[in-house]
Amino acid sequence: MHSSIKQFSPRTPRGNDTSATVREEVRTSNTISNHADDLKESPLFQQPSNGQKRPPTLFVVFGAQGDLTKRKLIPALYNLAASNHLPQEFAILGVDGIPMNTEDFRAKIGQDIQELSSRPIDTTIKEWLLDRLYYLSGDFRDPQTYARLQDMLTQLNTAHGTQGNYLYYMATAPTFFAEIVQQLGAKGLLVEDRDEFSRRIVIEKPFGHDLPSARSLNQALRDVLDENQIYRIDHYLGKETVQNILVFRFANGIFEPVWNRQYIDHVQITVAESLGVEHRGTYYEKAGALRDMVPNHLLQILSFVAMEPPNTFDPEAVRNEKAKVLRAIEPMNPVDVLQSTVAGQYEAGSIGGRSVLPYRAEVNVDPVSLTETFAAMTLGIESWRWEGVPFYLRTGKRLHTRVTEVVIQFKSAPLMLFRKTPVDRLTPNVLVIRIQPDEGISLSFGAKIPGPKVQVGTVDMDFQYAEYFGDAPSTGYETLLHDVMAGDATLFQRSDSVEVGWSVVDPIVKVWESLGLHAIHPYRSGTWGPPEADALLAKDGRMWRNHN
């Protein structure tokens, strides 16, 4: 197979004559199609054993020269190809403003795959992917770009047999989202026939920077698209452990009966990073920890933990239940914000034995910045299941350890039975769902310590994904990209969920901004955040689960 691909690999002539480039690419691509019988002998083109649908797809990436494409999308597509989850009728078209032809773009991406892949490279698979890779240079604001795009899509669709299924991925700055969609709509490139072919848009966060801008973006998208064509992606939901929350809850009869206010004392959701803002100072100054993480990552995880059982695992049934949970979050007034939230900003410190700079000394950060790099809060959910159960959320940069996890702490058993023994207290059972970096689930419970006295110790049952199922190479995007191609929106945010998420965050932002410097609590890099975050739980008689 490898020799066949090399022999008929489409190569782009140098120069700026786009029409000639397309004709040459399509001519050579048709040559590949003529040799499909040879290629079909490869295991790469056999049907996947799990029976999942692999519809023909023409994958269009706006922002093809960006970091997201290089580090996440292309490696994810390579992993999908290597695991037999891409169709044979598949092509990728990169669109960006940097002048380049297809041949040079393939060389660049080929080098990126070699350098960034998390698995050993199979040359055959890499060449198969590169032979389906094309490039179009053009300004996102120029209507002529979309006229040339229309011509190229038509020809590539014929050459690769993608049956009119176009998947557009917005790997651009958010300022281009509405512009690109409107330009595509003006050219009729978003009109779909559900019985014949699909036209879908994938949008990366942030989905706006507050509630009004989120509503404006949603309206701009709905002016051109139906809601079922829009896939708002959150890469955290591509992690196996997040998806497993639903299976863990609803497929195991021993957990769902106790998943409520009668047995659960509180829930903690932590997304901690040991890194600073790195090269994202300009973006982070506008966003901050609260806007960057809470409306999407943390609230999405919360919705999986707290949602009611859906009638089916149909995408809309799941998304309906997630939306209900978010709408049930108790709204905060200014007094609630003061009592139930904490903002922090990292100062100089040490992480892993290495000294690190304070936030205000980072590149592209204001030396007197009031942007928070840490956010913590207590949320309540107004529902029968969760009445009186606090949900503690925190996220921050330059914290002690990189970890994302959900902690379910159950109520302690009555001590009455042990009143005449040396046991003076009972440790509550704790269920920990580790999302990263070591994906797994652990459950702690009490057991008698060997000996003549009645003494209770805490032991752990621990499950690790890598140990049981193997450590499959992943960027976090593989499942999400596969689901978009298959038309499964379960793991993607709907417009109402986006807006509800911002309605939770906006009141907090307004109070913090009004307080200015008084809202920001400093914390030393390498710690678990400002002392005020510990006090947030201590006043309820609880404490964060921190890692040493």
With 50 as the cut, is the pLDDT of residue 268 above it? yes
Residue 325, C-beta contacts closer than 8 angstroms, at least 6 positions apart: 302, 303, 306, 307, 308, 381, 383
- Cα 235 from chain centroid? 1
| pLDDT score, position 57 | 95
Please tell me the predicted confidence (pLDDT) of residue 414: 66
- For the chain, residues classed under CATH 3.40.50.720 are 2-172
CA distances from 151 to 23, 101, 148, 235 (A): 10, 16, 5, 32
How much of the chain exceeds pLDDT 70, in percent? 84
Give the pLDDT mean for 166-191: 94
Asked if 297 is an active-site residue, the reply is: yes
Q: How confident is the model at residue 420 (pLDDT cuts 50, 70, 90)?
A: low
Max Cα separation, the chain?
90
- Mean pLDDT (whole number) for 373-400: 97
| 279 pLDDT higher than 50 | yes
Average pLDDT over residues 518-545: 95
CATH architecture of the region 238-538:
2-Layer Sandwich (3.30)
Averaged pLDDT score across all residues of the chain: 85
pLDDT above 60 (res 172): yes
Q: pLDDT digit string (tens) for 24-34?
A: 444 433 433 33
Q: Which residue in 122, 165, 395 sits closest to 269, CA to CA?
A: 395
d(CA 32, CA 91): 12
pLDDT at 447: 63
Per-residue pLDDT averaged across 290-302, rounded?
Answer: 93
Residue 199 vs residue 31, higher pLDDT: 199
Task: For residue 437, give the 3-state DSSP assignment.
Answer: coil
Spatial contact of 93 and 152, defined as CB atoms under 8 Å apart: yes
What are the φ and ψ backbone dihedral angles of 186, each rounded to 5 degrees?
A: -65, -30
pLDDT at 302 over 50: yes
* CB-based contacts of 327, cutoff 8 Å, min separation 6: 500
Q: How far apart are CA 434 and CA 441, in angstroms?
A: 6
- Check: CB of residue 487 under 8 Å from CB of residue 315: no
Q: In what order do the strands lie in the sheet with 166-170?
A: 133-137, 90-96, 57-62, 166-170, 199-204, 230-233
Query: Computed over its alpha carbons, how large is the radius of gyration of the chain?
Result: 26
Give the amino acid at 427.
T
Structural domain 2-172, CATH architecture = 3-Layer(aba) Sandwich (3.40)
- Rounded to whole angstroms, the Cα distance separating 78 from 287 reads 32
Among residues 297, 482, 521, 547, the one annotated as catalytic is 297
- pTM to 2 decimal places: 0.84
Lowest mean pLDDT among 21-30, 107-116, 142-151, 377-386: 21-30
- What residue ranges of the chain are covered by domains with CATH 3.30.360.10? 238-538
